[in-house]
Structure 1
Amino acid sequence: MFAEERKIKILDRLDKQGKVRVKELSKLYNVSEATIRRDLQELEERGMIKRTHGGAVLTEHTKFEPTFLEKEDKFHEEKEAIGKLAASLIEDGDTIAIDSGTTTLEIAKNIKAKNLTIVTNSLDIAYEIGKRSDIEVVITGGMMRWKTRAMVGPIADNTIKNLRVDKVFLGTNGICIKKGITTPNLIEAQTKRALLKIASQAIVVCDHTKFNQVSFAKIADINEVDIIITDNKLPSKLLDKYKEQDIEIMISN
């Protein structure tokens, strides 16, 4: 087993059990305790866990996941502005993918382009777009998570991997130059990765509170994203840091 694969399994075990012990992991993965300690140290350096005497626990913020309804009313004006700006990037005849989420839903509500094909793993977005006769909607299917109302898992992933789109619009719980874009759930992260892989252009949409936040499961490195669209409350110093990394950030009004 490769080191990264072992770390993913450790994180998955932490997600299910809340804590792990070095001795147990050493026996489970048939490696030395020193190797497990190095794994835990690297995960701690990434901000994903907190080491304890003889083991580790998840850091509080990496696992926290608000529900769709909880997020819906937060920063609504900012999300609406982000949605309008993102929708303006969609051109007539485009084939696009729109990830599930409260910010991405605002994109669907503000699409002006015509003759589109849209792939989505969101029933809310499919319903919104379904009001348009000039848009063909492809729903991924899959297991719907109650918390986020996203369809995820193997069925969704298998549908997605056989498609190709011009642009993908992804939501995220955390975005960080060093640690990439992240979300609290491993299965949902995998489906987001699947959407990312089929697109010629990757566009992440998120309000300013998601910056410098790190959640449990990694979706992608920051250099895999072409454009980040956010609101006008992002601090200028933080914006400059992203520009220094040649990351394009579009600011909504």
Structure 2
Amino acid sequence: MFAEERKTEILQLVKIGNPVTVTSLSQRFGVSESTVRRDLQELEDNGLIQRTHGGAISVQTGFEMSFQEKEVRFLTEKQQIATLAANLVNDGETVLIDSGTTTLEIARLLRSKKITVATNSMDIAQVFSDDAGVETVLLGGTLRKNTRALVGYLTNDALRKMYFDKVFLAANGIDAEFGITTPNLTEAETKRYMLQAGKEKILVADHSKIGQRSLCRICGLEEIDLLITDKGINDADDQQLGALVRIMTQTIL
């Protein structure tokens, strides 16, 4: 099989909607994993797929990576964002933390603070399970297994009865015109209730989310008090988004 035929078949497999792995493609085509990685890189360079840790997915905006796939993408940047976010939290505050891989990094840095944390993430609640200083509230709801988030009627009903000093929100897409987005309708609704429950609304997202749109709009950027991202944001996006929301990419002395 020629390289172009191989890449065409890879593209067809990805478009079906399931992620593909380097190992499975190597076995399927009888070529080395390094050859497969070159094929995937060329397809990504042409905007036809999106590479992930160990494979690739479709570039369609409605497609949603698994929690495990998201967790390893831009991990260093997420940890940098988490450091900035955690430094904003003071003892005695009430904090609502959205489910997500960046917010999970924030939670890990909030251990030992004397705060109250509410979350719709079992993973984040587990971070504080043996932390005597952090009072932890796990919101009920329907579990979305792909994102490991509790969402829906029960979650929203609980949020209607609560109010927090700070809300840390996660999202899949940030676009100056369309706003903040996520692929799932139910999750988008729960995120809107989260924003209504907070005094200070803080969006945390690495630079790969900027300029992207997912299916469901959560809110406009002007409804957010602060966007914390990493230094990978380009000057054009920084200027365009900065006209709508305050942006933090490094500690302000």
TM-score range, shorter chain: 0.7 to 0.9
Letter in 1 for 2:199: S
Deviations 1:36-75 (A, max 9, x none): xxxxxxxxxxxxxxxxxxxxxxx96331111101111111
Give secondary structure in 2 for the equivalent of 1:63.
Answer: coil
2:202–2:228 Cα contact (<8 Å) kept:
yes
Letter in 2 for 1:135: V
- 1:233 is the counterpart of 2:232: yes
Inter-partner Cα distance in structure 2 for 1:113 and 1:220: 32
- 1:250 is the counterpart of 2:251: no
Letter in 2 for 1:75: F
For 1:108, the equivalent position in structure 2 comes to 107
Deviations 1:105-156 (A, max 9, x none): 0000111673211110000000002231011111111111110000001011
With normalisation by structure 2, the TM-score equals 0.74
Letter in 2 for 1:249: I
- Residue identity over aligned pairs, in percent, reads 43
Inter-partner Cα distance in structure 1 for 2:179 and 2:97: 19
Q: What is the CA-CA distance between 1:244 and the residue it aligns to?
A: 2.9
With normalisation by structure 1, the TM-score equals 0.74
Letter in 1 for 2:142: M
- 1:171 is the counterpart of 2:160: no
For 1:152, the equivalent position in structure 2 comes to 151
1:99-248 → structure 2 map (5 Å cutoff):
99-111=98-110, 114-245=113-244, 247-248=245-246
2:116–2:135 Cα contact (<8 Å) kept:
yes
Deviations 1:177-232 (A, max 9, x none): 11110000000001111111010010000000100111001111111000000011
1:79–1:207 Cα contact (<8 Å) kept:
yes
Question: Unaligned stretches of 5+ in structure 1?
Answer: 1-58
Inter-partner Cα distance in structure 1 for 2:239 and 2:59: 29
Go from structure 1 to structure 2 and tell me whether the alpha carbon gap of 1:60 and 1:98 turns closer, same or farther (over 3 Å shift).
same
For 2:4, the equivalent position in structure 1 comes to none
Task: Give 4+ residue runs of structure 1 displaced > 6 Å after superposition.
Answer: none
For 1:66, the equivalent position in structure 2 comes to 65
1:169–1:202 Cα contact (<8 Å) kept:
yes
1:90–1:113 Cα contact (<8 Å) kept:
no
For 1:90, the equivalent position in structure 2 comes to 89
Inter-partner Cα distance in structure 2 for 1:123 and 1:113: 19
Inter-partner Cα distance in structure 2 for 1:90 and 1:84: 11
Inter-partner Cα distance in structure 1 for 2:228 and 2:130: 25
Give secondary structure in 2 for the equivalent of 1:118.
Answer: strand
Q: What is the CA-CA distance between 1:252 and the residue it aligns to?
A: 3.9
Inter-partner Cα distance in structure 2 for 1:140 and 1:80: 25
Give secondary structure in 1 for the equivalent of 2:110.
Answer: coil
For 1:5, the equivalent position in structure 2 comes to none
Q: What is the CA-CA distance between 1:240 and the residue it aligns to?
A: 1.4
Letter in 2 for 1:250: M
Letter in 2 for 1:90: V
Cα RMSD for the two superposed structures: 1.5
Inter-partner Cα distance in structure 2 for 1:162 and 1:200: 14
2:111–2:131 Cα contact (<8 Å) kept:
no
